[in-house]
Structure 1
Amino acid sequence: MMINRFLDYLRYERNTSPLTVQTYEESLRDFESYVTFRDKELSLSSVDADLIRDWMESLMDKGNSASTINKKLSALRSFYRFALKRQLVKADPAHAVTGPKKSKPLPQFLREGEMERLLDGIEWDDSFNNVRARTIILIFYEAGLRRSELVSLNDTDLDYEAAQLKVTGKRNKQRIVPFGAELAEALKHYQAVRTEMFGKTNGALFLGDKGERITVAQVYKLVNHYLSLVTSLKKRSPHVLRHTFATAMLNNGAGLESIKNLLGHASVSTTEIYTHTTFEQLKRIYKEAHPRA
């Protein structure tokens, strides 16, 4: 049988792990059963691409995820590539078949009330660590920066007179992000406390505990700790604050194109994920508020 020859090839010529061989066999046997069910006159050497697509559709109907179906399709592609090279089939029916797209998880974000509790409800003392932590959280929330962008900020990137921040993003693309009076005051206060702590610095805006430029790992640890105080979200990374910034902007009337430019997205299609986020929030509010929902 063709399947057995392919499995032997994986075992003895490719030295594939037993678990992978088992996974491939399960996918191939499942497809073979489907082919026989559809038409007893058909065989693995006579199927076409449409039948493979029908099989994938049947898998979807059974509740299989896109990821699972793509793994099964990958096994089928490997099988038919092998069969074509060994001249066991005249054509490869799986070659032109594309798998289902994986659905992207919606970005997680904090609600405005949670951000208010974080920034205003916690007692922040005037120590360097607390001032730095609150300023970092505030700049993520008010400017929507990526973690790497925050770490790379220098004092010279701040323009208090114009109330704007020069941000160096992916592929060294620079953008200008405006900021408000609250963030300006927080940044000035942080710089004053930093000077008291370390004196003259090397130009980096945010410093670690020993006076060196803060690292991405230190920023993650800091944000994760403080977000855990106000939210039950499993994900509590700096990127959650970037999502929070974008969602807050959209909920308060900002256009997608404006948000795209502020976030430094290359395409507005990337920014559109936040419209799905706000709609999901709207559905949740509707179900909680409407008596017949």
Structure 2
Amino acid sequence: MVIAQFLLYLQHEKRYSPHTLKSYQTDLLQFSDFLNQSFELSLLEAGHAQVRSYMVALMEAEVSERTIGRKLSTLRSFYKYQLREGLISTSPMTLLRAPKIPQRLPVFIEDQKLDVLLDSGEFFSETFPSIRDKVVIETLFGTGMRLAELLSLTAESIDFYGSTIRVMGKRNKERIIPISKLLADQLKAYLDIKTLQNFHNKMGPLFVTDKGAAAYPKLIYRIVTSYLTFISTQDKKSPHVLRHSYATSLLNRGADLNAIKELLGHASLAATQVYTHNSIERLKSIYKQAHPKA
């Protein structure tokens, strides 16, 4: 019951996405099972010692520091809410520190490689699936939007006159992203061929399957992965890699960090600052190659 009430709070007041809510639910149920089996305690009866034991159990199970950090963050939010509601007098999370997470630089594809893929004319044909695939990749790289944001687009989301796309981001926060004339033209051409296929519905999803049904996450993953394989040998080839590529390209060309934050829809500048590390590494590489004393 306490988990259900907390999830309703996250859904309606915090406006968390279904994916995030599922994550919170999984973390809380897992901790609840641990408390029940190891100590015969409920979530509201847990203390500092029980949470510490849970951390140790996760470490012994070789769960990554990042995952442990996320689970502790879930518990911290949960007990903060219970404290506010007066259901507990002290939080068991007060004295706990999450394990230090090694910093992981965002993986991105270099501009030159994406130019080869998108501009050479070697990889895409004039069929509907191929045109759609290209526009999917162009849109992800040309706007930096998230996968969920891409899937929620409709034709109404695009302002061809103003060259912008309206995106509904995390927590139902809307933002406007400028697009290039090239991308606007490609989206127009895609909508034209979509209409010829009798797949066009003004209020329906912008991107559809080969048979006209709404595109789904695995399809977009498959599209991105298959085409990035032609130009990159790196292991990670997800739609999020194109988001990282967009941000890194902007930063390398002198874009203001605050502007990139707004374009990406980040809640805080700290999330955007990780991209500066890629630029610093790039400058180090240039220095090592070009400076006589390097």
Same fold, TM exceeding 0.5? Answer: yes
- CA shift, 1:199, in A, is 4.5
The structure with the larger Rg is 1
SS of 2:188 mapped into structure 1? helix
* Partner Cα distance (1:131, 1:67) in 2: 41
- CA shift, 1:204, in A, is 1.4
- CA shift, 1:112, in A, is 1.1
The residue that corresponds to 2:185 in the other structure is 185
- CA shift, 1:193, in A, is 1.1
The aligned amino acid for 1:214 is A
The residue that corresponds to 2:252 in the other structure is 251
Does 201-210 or 216-225 show the bigger shift? 201-210
The aligned amino acid for 1:243 is H
1:117 to 2:125 alignment: no
Distance 1:199 1:136, change over 3 A: closer
SS of 1:165 mapped into structure 2? strand
The residue that corresponds to 1:176 in the other structure is 176
* Equivalence map 1:85-124=2 (5 Å): 96=95, 98=97, 100-123=99-122, 124=124
* Partner Cα distance (1:257, 1:231) in 2: 30
SS of 1:194 mapped into structure 2? helix
The aligned amino acid for 1:251 is N
Runs of at least 5 residues in structure 2 that lack an aligned partner in the other structure: 1-33, 40-52, 73-93
The aligned amino acid for 2:270 is S
The residue that corresponds to 2:281 in the other structure is 280
- CA shift, 1:288, in A, is 3.1
Distance 1:272 1:199, change over 3 A: closer
The residue that corresponds to 1:48 in the other structure is none
1:260 to 2:266 alignment: no
* Equivalence map 1:207-218=2 (5 Å): 207-218=208-219
* Partner Cα distance (2:273, 2:200) in 1: 43
* Partner Cα distance (1:214, 1:149) in 2: 12
Distance 1:161 1:278, change over 3 A: same
RMSD: 2.9
The aligned amino acid for 1:109 is F
* Partner Cα distance (1:213, 1:145) in 2: 18
The superposition leaves residues 169-209 of structure 1 with CA deviations (integer Å, 9 ceiling, x where unpaired) of 11111100011110011001111111111254252111111
Does 196-205 or 95-104 show the bigger shift? 95-104
- CA shift, 1:98, in A, is 3.4
- TM-score normalised to the size of structure 1? 0.67
* Partner Cα distance (2:151, 2:291) in 1: 45
Distance 1:270 1:214, change over 3 A: same
* Partner Cα distance (1:204, 1:174) in 2: 17
The residue that corresponds to 2:43 in the other structure is none
* Partner Cα distance (1:166, 1:232) in 2: 33
The residue that corresponds to 1:238 in the other structure is 239
* Partner Cα distance (1:263, 1:96) in 2: 34
CA contact (8 A) 1:156 1:203 kept: no
SS of 1:272 mapped into structure 2? helix
Distance 1:192 1:97, change over 3 A: closer
Runs of at least 5 residues in structure 1 that lack an aligned partner in the other structure: 1-9, 28-65, 75-94
- CA shift, 1:120, in A, is 1.0
Does 152-161 or 118-127 show the bigger shift? 118-127
* Partner Cα distance (2:154, 2:96) in 1: 50
- CA shift, 1:96, in A, is 4.1
* Partner Cα distance (1:98, 1:157) in 2: 43
- TM-score normalised to the size of structure 2? 0.67
* Equivalence map 1:136-147=2 (5 Å): 136-147=136-147
